[in-house]
C-alpha cells in the first residue's frame, strides 16, 4: 500500500470513529432515525413531527406523525413552507411545499443519558415567511441540544373562515379557526417533550426562543393553556402579545377575535379566487400557489395573523395575566433601539403628509395630539423617525414592556429585560443626515445572540467591539438556557426586572444596567391601550 492509500485509509478510519463517537443514530416514537455528523456533532435534519397538512388536512389541527418502517434518514432539511419569496436575477427560488411540518435536532451528546438542556428555536417572518435552517451550532457547542421547528405560514397557517369554525365546532367542540400555525408549534413542542431524551436532552430543561413573529409566538405559547408544562423558560427577541382584542387589526394596535379573523379571511378568499363564498371542499383542492396572489395579505407588517379564540389563545392576554392565567416561567426579553426603521422605507418616501394620514388611520381624534407631541413629524426626517418609533413601540417594545410588567407582578418566574443598541450601521437609514444615535434596527441582535458565525456574522465581518459584545451577549443567552438566569462568572450582573424600577441591560460597547430609554413613550402607550380596551372598534 502506497503512502497516499495509507493516508486515505487513516482519514476514513478517523471519520468513522468520529461518527461512532456521536449520537448519530437513535430511536424516537415513530421509529429509528439516523442523522449526520457536522462539526463534530450529530445533526438530524427534517424529522417529521406531523402528517403532511395537505388535502383534507389543510386548515386543520396537525396530526402527529405516523410510525415509519426501517431507519429514517435525517440527512437533509425539508422544504420550507409555502410563502412568497423574492429572488435576485439568476438566483434559484428555494424549494417550498405545503408538506412542511418537520424539525431539526443538533446535539453534542454522545449518549442518550446526558440530560442536556434544550433550546427550541421558532423563526420569525411576520407569520408569513421564514424557515427553520438557522445555525444553532454555537449553542450546541456550549452543551445545549438545539432544535429548530417549522410551522404553517400565512394563509396555510392563519386563515379563518366561518365554514372552518363550524367544522371545528363539529369535530372538536371548539369554535376556532386560523391558529393552525400555533397548533403546529405546540405539537412540535409536545414531540420534543416526548422524544428529546433520545438525543441526550432533558425534557424538563426546555427553553423556547424566537425573534419577531417567532418572539410573538413565544409570548403566545407563554399564554396558551395548551402549551402548559412543555417548557421551563422563554427568550423573546422583539416580540410580545399584549394588545387588546378587537374585530379588526389596525396596524399593530389590536389582535382580531375569531369573528374579525373570519371577516378578513372571507375578503381575502374573494380576492384570490374571485368568488364570494366558495365551498371549503373546493378551496382544499386548489393549488397552494393560488393563495399567494394577494399583496394586501402579504404586506411587510403582516396581515394573516393569529387570533384570540378562547382555545389556543384566551381572550386578551393582558387581561389573562391580571387573572393569573398564563404559563409562569422565567423569561429573557427585549427589543432593539430602532426596530421600526426596517418597516418605514427610506428617507423621503415617508413624508409628513403620509405621517398625518397614518395618525388619522391609527388613532382616535382625542389621542392624535398626544402622539404627535411625543413623535413629531413636521419634516421628512422627523416623519421617518416618528413612524419608525411608533412601529417600534406598537409592534415590539410596548408588548414586551407590558409582558415584563405582567409577569413580574403576577408570576413567580423572573424577567430579564434588555435593550440592544450595539450595531451603528443601518441600511434603512442610508443618506440620512441625522443626529440620532440609536439606530440598531429589527433582527440585528441575532448575529450576537447566536454567537460567532462563520465569516464574522450575518451582517458581515465584525469589528473588535462587536466581536467582544457577541461573546458577552451569547454567554448571557447560554447561561439563561442552562439555568434560567443569564448571570455568570466574569459577566456584568443582570438584575431581574420589576415594575417600578424598569431595570434593563443596555447593550452598547459593553453591558450596563439602566432604566428603559424609551420609558416615556411606553407609558403613553400603556394609557392608550387601557383606553382602547374600553373603546373597541364597532
pLDDT of 363-383, one tens digit each?
Answer: 999 999 999 999 999 999 999
179: which residues sit within 8 A by CB, 6+ positions away?
Answer: 158, 306, 307, 309, 311, 312, 313
Between strands 415-420 and 25-28, the pairing is unpaired
Angle at alpha carbon of residue 467, lines to 462 and 469, rounded to 5°: 125
* pLDDT of amino acid 2: 59
Q: Is residue 192 part of a domain?
A: yes
* pLDDT of amino acid 458: 67
How many CB atoms sit inside 10 A of residue 325's CB? 13
User: What is the C-alpha separation between 57 and 412, in angstroms, rounded?
Assistant: 39
Instruction: Check pLDDT > 70 for residue 88.
Output: no
Q: Is residue 479 part of a domain?
A: no
Alpha-carbon separation of residue 23 from 119, 189, 280, 390 (angstroms): 18, 21, 45, 48
Alpha-carbon separation of residue 133 from 55, 80, 148, 150, 425 (angstroms): 26, 9, 7, 9, 25
Band the pLDDT of 452: cuts 50, 70, 90.
confident
User: What is the C-alpha separation between 490 and 512, in angstroms, rounded?
Assistant: 13
* pLDDT of amino acid 499: 86
Q: Which domain holds residue 48?
A: 22-211+258-306
Q: pLDDT (tens digit, 9 = 90+) per residue, 453-488?
A: 766 666 667 889 999 999 999 999 999 999 999 999
* pLDDT of amino acid 538: 64
Band the pLDDT of 345: cuts 50, 70, 90.
confident
Say if residues 460 and 443 touch (Cβ distance below 8 Å): no
How many CB atoms sit inside 10 A of residue 382's CB? 15
Give the chain's domain count: 1
Say if residues 27 and 17 touch (Cβ distance below 8 Å): no
Phi and psi based region of residue 321 (left: phi greater than 0; alpha: psi -120 to 50; beta: remaining): alpha
Look at residue 231 and give its three-state secondary structure: coil
What mean pLDDT is predicted for residues 283-299?
90
What mean pLDDT is predicted for residues 104-124?
97
Band the pLDDT of 528: cuts 50, 70, 90.
very high
Helix 398-410 to helix 213-223 angle (10° resolution) is 30
Look at residue 36 and give its three-state secondary structure: strand
* pLDDT of amino acid 455: 62
Q: Is residue 378 part of a domain?
A: no
Higher-scoring residue by pLDDT: 430, 368: 368
What mean pLDDT is predicted for residues 482-506?
94
What mean pLDDT is predicted for residues 258-271?
95
Higher-scoring residue by pLDDT: 301, 244: 244
Band the pLDDT of 5: cuts 50, 70, 90.
low
Helices and strands: H and E segment counts in the chain? 16, 16
User: What is the C-alpha separation between 337 and 277, in angstroms, rounded?
Assistant: 45
Instruction: Check pLDDT > 70 for residue 6.
Output: no
* pLDDT of amino acid 119: 98
Cell numbers for 490, please give them: 466574569
* pLDDT of amino acid 7: 45
Say if residues 220 and 455 touch (Cβ distance below 8 Å): no
Q: Model pTM?
A: 0.94
Q: pLDDT (tens digit, 9 = 90+) per residue, 15-42?
A: 444 445 799 999 999 999 999 999 999 9
Cell numbers for 497, please give them: 426586572
Angle at alpha carbon of residue 18, lines to 13 and 20, rounded to 5°: 95
* pLDDT of amino acid 346: 82
Element (H, E) at 119: strand 116-122
In 3D space, the residue among 106, 48, 103 whose CA is nearest the CA of residue 72 turns out to be 48
Phi and psi based region of residue 240 (left: phi greater than 0; alpha: psi -120 to 50; beta: remaining): left
In 3D space, the residue among 78, 77, 74 whose CA is nearest the CA of residue 44 turns out to be 74
Instruction: Check pLDDT > 60 for residue 525.
Output: yes
Alpha-carbon separation of residue 478 from 61, 182, 205, 317 (angstroms): 33, 26, 13, 28
Cell numbers for 54, please give them: 395537505
What mean pLDDT is predicted for residues 420-436?
87
* pLDDT of amino acid 10: 43
Higher-scoring residue by pLDDT: 298, 213: 213
User: What is the C-alpha separation between 505 and 344, in angstroms, rounded?
Assistant: 27
Instruction: Check pLDDT > 70 for residue 91.
Output: no
174: which residues sit within 8 A by CB, 6+ positions away?
Answer: 168, 309, 311
* pLDDT of amino acid 14: 43
* pLDDT of amino acid 252: 81
**Which DSSP string do the residues of 249-302 spell out, in sequence order?**
--TTS-EEBHHHHHHHHHHHHHHHHS-SS--HHHHTTS-GGGGG--TGGG-TT-
Summary mean pLDDT of the chain: 92
In 3D space, the residue among 395, 394, 402 whose CA is nearest the CA of residue 127 turns out to be 395
In 3D space, the residue among 318, 483, 335 whose CA is nearest the CA of residue 414 turns out to be 483
Say if residues 145 and 199 touch (Cβ distance below 8 Å): yes
Between strands 102-107 and 145-149, the pairing is antiparallel
Q: Is residue 498 part of a domain?
A: no
* pLDDT of amino acid 424: 79
Q: Is residue 333 part of a domain?
A: no
Task: Return the percent helix, strand and coil in the chain, to nearest 5.
Answer: 40, 15, 45
What mean pLDDT is predicted for residues 486-498?
96
Q: pLDDT (tens digit, 9 = 90+) per residue, 149-162?
A: 999 999 999 999 99
What end-to-end distance do the CA atoms of the chain give, in Å? 85
In 3D space, the residue among 248, 262, 393, 242 whose CA is nearest the CA of residue 320 turns out to be 242
* pLDDT of amino acid 19: 46
Cβ burial, residue 160 (10 Å; 0-12/13-18/19+): buried
Q: Is residue 163 part of a domain?
A: yes
What mean pLDDT is predicted for residues 126-133?
92
Q: Is residue 73 part of a domain?
A: yes
Q: What's 265's domain CATH number? A: 3.40.50.1820
Amino acid at each position: 500500500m502506497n503512502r497516499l492509500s495509507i493516508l486515505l485509509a487513516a482519514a476514513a478510519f478517523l471519520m468513522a470513529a468520529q461518527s461512532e463517537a456521536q449520537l448519530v443514530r437513535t430511536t424516537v416514537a415513530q421509529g429509528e432515525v439516523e442523522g449526520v455528523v457536522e462539526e463534530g456533532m450529530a445533526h438530524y435534519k427534517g424529522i417529521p413531527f406531523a402528517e403532511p397538512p395537505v388535502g383534507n388536512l389543510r386548515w386543520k389541527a396537525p396530526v402527529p406523525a405516523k410510525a415509519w418502517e426501517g431507519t429514517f434518514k435525517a440527512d437533509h432539511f425539508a422544504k420550507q413552507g409555502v410563502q412568497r419569496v423574492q429572488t435576485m436575477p439568476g438566483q434559484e427560488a428555494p424549494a417550498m411545499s405545503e408538506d412542511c411540518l418537520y424539525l431539526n435536532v443538533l446535539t453534542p451528546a454522545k449518549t442518550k443519558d446526558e440530560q442536556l438542556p434544550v433550546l427550541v428555536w421558532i423563526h420569525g417572518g411576520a407569520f408569513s415567511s421564514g424557515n427553520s435552517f438557522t445555525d444553532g451550532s454555537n449553542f450546541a457547542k456550549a452543551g445545549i441540544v438545539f432544535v429548530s421547528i417549522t410551522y404553517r405560514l400565512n394563509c396555510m397557517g392563519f386563515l379563518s373562515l366561518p365554514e372552518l369554525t363550524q367544522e371545528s365546532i363539529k369535530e372538536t367542540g371548539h369554535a376556532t379557526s386560523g391558529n393552525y400555525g400555533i397548533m403546529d408549534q405546540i405539537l412540535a413542542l409536545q414531540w420534543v417533550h416526548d422524544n428529546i431524551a433520545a438525543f441526550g436532552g432533558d425534557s424538563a430543561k426546555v427553553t423556547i426562543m424566537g425573534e419577531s413573529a417567532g418572539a410573538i409566538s413565544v409570548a403566545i405559547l407563554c399564554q396558551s393553556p395548551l402549551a402548559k408544562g412543555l417548557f421551563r423558560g422563554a427568550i423573546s427577541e422583539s416580540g410580545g402579545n399584549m394588545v387588546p382584542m378587537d374585530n379588526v387589526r389596525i396596524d399593530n394596535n389590536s389582535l382580531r377575535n375569531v369573528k374579525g379573523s373570519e371577516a378578513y379571511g372571507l375578503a381575502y378568499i374573494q380576492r384570490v379566487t374571485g368568488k364570494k363564498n366558495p365551498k371549503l371542499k373546493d378551496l382544499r383542492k386548489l393549488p397552494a400557489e393560488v393563495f399567494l396572489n394577494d399583496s394586501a395579505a402579504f404586506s411587510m407588517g403582516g396581515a394573516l395573523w393569529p387570533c384570540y379564540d378562547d382555545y389556543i389563545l384566551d381572550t386578551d392576554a393582558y387581561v389573562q395575566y391580571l387573572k393569573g392565567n398564563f404559563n409562569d416561567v422565567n423569561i429573557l426579553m427585549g427589543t432593539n433601539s430602532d426596530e421600526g426603521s426596517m418597516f418605514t422605507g427610506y428617507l423621503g418616501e415617508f413624508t409628513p403628509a403620509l405621517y398625518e394620514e397614518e395618525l388619522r388611520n391609527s388613532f382616535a381624534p382625542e389621542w392624535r395630539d398626544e402622539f404627535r407631541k411625543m413623535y413629531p413629524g413636521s419634516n421628512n426626517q422627523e416623519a421617518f423617525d416618528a413612524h419608525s418609533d411608533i412601529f417600534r413601540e406598537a409592534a415590539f417594545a410596548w408588548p414586551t414592556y407590558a409582558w415584563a410588567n405582567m409577569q413580574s407582578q403576577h408570576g413567580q418566574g423572573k424577567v430579564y429585560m434588555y435593550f440592544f443598541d450595539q450595531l451603528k450601521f443601518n441600511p434603512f437609514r442610508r443618506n440620512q443626515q441625522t443626529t440620532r444615535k440609536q439606530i440598531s434596527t429589527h433582527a440585528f441582535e441575532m448575529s450576537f445572540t447566536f454567537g460567532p458565525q462563520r465569516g464574522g456574522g450575518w451582517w458581515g465581518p465584525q469589528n473588535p467591539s462587536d466581536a467582544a459584545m457577541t461573546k458577552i451577549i451569547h454567554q448571557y443567552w447560554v447561561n439563561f438556557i442552562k439555568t434560567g438566569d443569564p448571570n455568570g462568572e466574569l459577566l456584568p450582573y443582570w438584575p431581574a426586572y420589576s415594575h417600578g424600577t424598569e431595570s434593563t441591560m443596555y447593550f452598547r460597547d459593553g453591558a450596563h444596567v439602566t432604566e428603559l430609554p424609551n420609558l416615556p413613550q411606553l407609558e403613553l402607550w400603556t394609557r392608550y391601550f387601557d383606553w382602547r380596551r374600553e373603546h373597541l372598534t364597532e
